[in-house]
Amino acid sequence: MKSSFLTILISTTLILGFASSSCYAAAYETQTEMYFRAVWGLAIVVGIMLIIFALVRKRFSLTHNDNDTQIKVLEMRPLMPKKSLCLVEVEGKKILLGISADNINLLANIEKDNTKSFSDHLSTAGKE
């Protein structure tokens, strides 16, 4: 995907570069016309880059879930660099995971019973 993204970005830049070079062919353009053409070309390039970024971000998001999957990532919270908490739902059960650079730990199984407070879940997390 990175190579196709890079190919699209380079080809778009080349096409717009050749198109913008034709604007300098006219010898009698005023400074204002040249300025607006440059701003317009820049706006088009930035717009295309934002659209590509949004598509790539949506496609490769960590929390992107399909409705028919059995494993859903409900939420991810970074704690420190390369360390985060992840709330996952597997077959209707919610699981709290601790994720670091080299391992993944089960912190707690969260029941559907809402009478327990967060501190109760934390106190039982070390016992499991």
- CB proximity list for 87: less than 8 A, separation 6 or greater: 73, 74, 75, 76, 94, 95, 96, 97, 110
Q: What are phi and psi of 63, to 5 degrees?
A: -100, 10
110: left (phi over 0), alpha (psi -120 to 50) or beta: beta
pLDDT given for residue 125 in this prediction? 66
pLDDT in tens for each of the 128 residues of the chain?
A: 555 666 666 666 666 665 555 555 555 578 888 888 889 999 999 999 999 888 887 777 655 556 667 888 888 888 899 899 998 988 888 999 999 999 999 998 887 766 666 667 667 766 65
